[in-house]
Amino acid sequence: MEDQWRIATYDAAWRQMFLETGMTLREALGETAVRIDHVGSTSIVGMDAKPIIDIQISVTNYDGLLNYKHEIEAVGFVFREENPDKTKRYFREIPGSRRTHVHVRQAGSFSEQMNLLFRDYLREHPEERLNYAEEKHRLMALYKDQRPKYVEGKGPMVWSILEKAHIWSQEIGWQPAKSDA
């Protein structure tokens, strides 16, 4: 298995990896999933990223864990109950499989919309995308063996991008596009 704790040059294959997994999840979840979207840096064409596919599943009944937990686990993911982020349910690949993060969020929630807006803004703003990639490279060089510091280090830039994305969203009347899967 490749080392996925690194920043890799953009790989067009990431889209196909998402589509394969996203369609498997769509089949398993049916209408329980309002949306299934490719999020995170691997979803942004041209963006250097950790080669980990992030998938966001939006559901109407977030609190009804039993409405979707078994279906997600049945297609090769493990529920991570210890996740400290209460805005999402978090699933990971079965050990030994390609690294994939599945984030289940309430449809229409701030956290769901924020992830889609962040992605869409960076897709439309190449200079911001490049600056963010450069910052990720810098932080990885500094904190290669300190994951929490790497993640924490991205915070100021992420919030700066979100502030610009918010203004942009108002200027264009942004709404999320159709679901990816």
The pLDDT of residue 1: 45
Its sign, for the CA torsion 36, 41, 47, 53, is: negative
C-alpha distances in Å from residue 177, one per residue of 6, 44, 48, 170, 173: 30, 14, 23, 15, 12
Q: What are the structural domains, with CATH classification, of the chain? A: 13-172 (3.30.460.10)
pLDDT at residue 2, rounded to an integer: 55
Triad 165, 8, 15: Cα angle to 5°: 65
Q: pLDDT, tens digit, for every residue of 156-174?
A: 999 999 999 999 999 999 9
Residue 49 to residue 43: CA distance in whole angstroms: 9
Q: What is residue 122's three-state secondary structure?
A: helix
Predicted pLDDT of residue 51? 96
Torsion of CA 98, 104, 110, 113, to 10 degrees: 60
Check residue 110 and give its pLDDT.
Answer: 97
Please identify every stretch of the chain with a pLDDT value under 50, giving residue numbers as ranges.
1
Predicted confidence at residue 3, as pLDDT, reads: 66
